[in-house]
Amino acid sequence: MTDRIIAAEVILTSPGRNYVTLKLQTADGLVGYGDATVNGRELAVASYLRDHVVPLLTGLDPARIEDTWQYLYRGAYWRRGPITMAAISAVDLALWDIKGKAAGMPVYQLLGGAVRDRVLAYTHASAWELPELLDEVDARREEGFRAVRAQSGVPGLETVYGVHREAAGYEPAKRGAAPVVESWDTDSYLRHVPSVLAAVREHVGPELALLHDAHHRLTPQQAARLGKALEPADLFWLEDVTPAENQDALRLVRQHTTTPLAIGEVFNSIYDCKDLITGQLIDYIRVAVAHAGGISHLRSIFALAAVYQVKAAPHGPSDVSPVSFGASVHLGLSTHNFGIQEYMGYDALAHEVFPHAWSFSDGYLHPGEAPGLGVEVDEALAAKFPYEPAYLPVARRLDGSVTDW
């Protein structure tokens, strides 16, 4: 192998929202792309890449994906954390992209080939009031989705996670120099949400997979209560019931409910997932390919999960770029214990800036047959949409104290 990485570059672009992309070029003329977007902290990871990773990459053998991963992970000394792991993810994805292009194969073939014909997807439906929520769920079913996450407004609150009041649809990251402050009251939420999901289940019948996200806001006891209260709605999963930093807390939740649990979208390494998986405290592990060390590290996490019959279900909001979304679909097609892929969808501009081979139809995703990850970057178009500061909201309780958003 005489091929070497001859150039590495960070591309910041904002087609509808901010994305951080790493571009690697080889002496043989191949180009690989990776995603390092960390919503609201884009410049930190761009600097990590530009200042501390890009200078190390020139001259490396692009075929040595695992060695490069270990070099960046162990070589940093300060291991793990969202910024470090997103940067490593981007390098990992770009190297898998190059390996696929060098082989003339889609990445899923390099991962062992397809174990299924297509990857089940779920999307979001939300509305402030129940009648509109039922209409939204119906609209998602008409688009072909067989699995839908349902979120509704809460009486007495002005803002609720996952629910939009404006017609433009839900996009939590708002442009501006500081985060929007939302208000939150868990008691009001707990009083309201079981009746909403019961009504949605009654409306859609037994077959549609229904999901709901509590977005890290409950104590273990509240989570146990909610899981139990939602059992008649037969959820596919209840997501992020607690922040899960206290992983033992999930034991209490498990003792009280059979509602399936999904956690992990903010995790960035196998060590964040280990206790939840080996303790069989969750049913789905939600690490994102852009945030937890790329394809290479997600394969380790998913292999550990398989031992405990935990399924993979990666985070797929609009803030993971179409590059890492495509990588996630390659993993989905080739990972036996893959459960479902979140597909929030993208602004039309993001589809143009990142032309991709992956596709959605009839409720399922497929990564396509293009060599590599199958996602390119229209750099001229990307340059027309420069980075703009944008932040996820923060939440305060009704007494003014900060709580988990």
Residues 375 and 354 sit within 8 Å (Cβ to Cβ): yes
Place of tokens 């937890």: 292
161 in catalytic set: yes
Choose among 277, 281, 275, 247: nearest CA to 261.
Answer: 281
By the rule CB under 5 A, 97 interacts with Mg ion: no
Q: Give the contact letters, 375-404, x = binds to Mg ion (CB under 5 A), - = no.
A: ------------------------------
Q: With the C-alpha atoms ordered 181, 187, 191, 196, is the resulting torsion angle positive or negative?
A: positive
Question: Among residues 345 and 389, whose Cβ is nearest to Mg ion?
Answer: 345
* Shortest separation between residue 55's beta carbon and Mg ion, angstroms: 35
- Tell me how many residues contact Mg ion (CB under 5 A): 1
Q: Give the contact letters, 163-202, x = binds to Mg ion (CB under 5 A), - = no.
A: ----------------------------------------
> 199 in helix, strand or coil?
helix
Question: Among residues 22 and 344, whose Cβ is nearest to Mg ion?
Answer: 344
* Shortest separation between residue 395's beta carbon and Mg ion, angstroms: 14
Positions in 199-218 near Mg ion (CB under 5 A): 213
* Shortest separation between residue 342's beta carbon and Mg ion, angstroms: 8
* Shortest separation between residue 266's beta carbon and Mg ion, angstroms: 9
Question: Among residues 149 and 330, whose Cβ is nearest to Mg ion?
Answer: 149
- The token duo for 306 is 């398989």
291 in catalytic set: no
Q: How many CB atoms lie within 10 A of CB 376?
A: 18
Residues 291 and 86 sit within 8 Å (Cβ to Cβ): yes
- How is 285-345 classified by DSSP, letter by letter? E---TTTTTHHHHHHHHHHHHHHTTPEE-----TTS-HHHHHHHHHHHHH-TTB--EE---
Residue 23 β-bridge partners: 9, 33
Exactly one of 48, 161, 284, 364 is catalytic; name it: 161
Exactly one of 164, 212, 215, 330 is catalytic; name it: 215
Catalytic positions are 161, 215
Interface ranges with Mg ion (CB under 5 A): 213
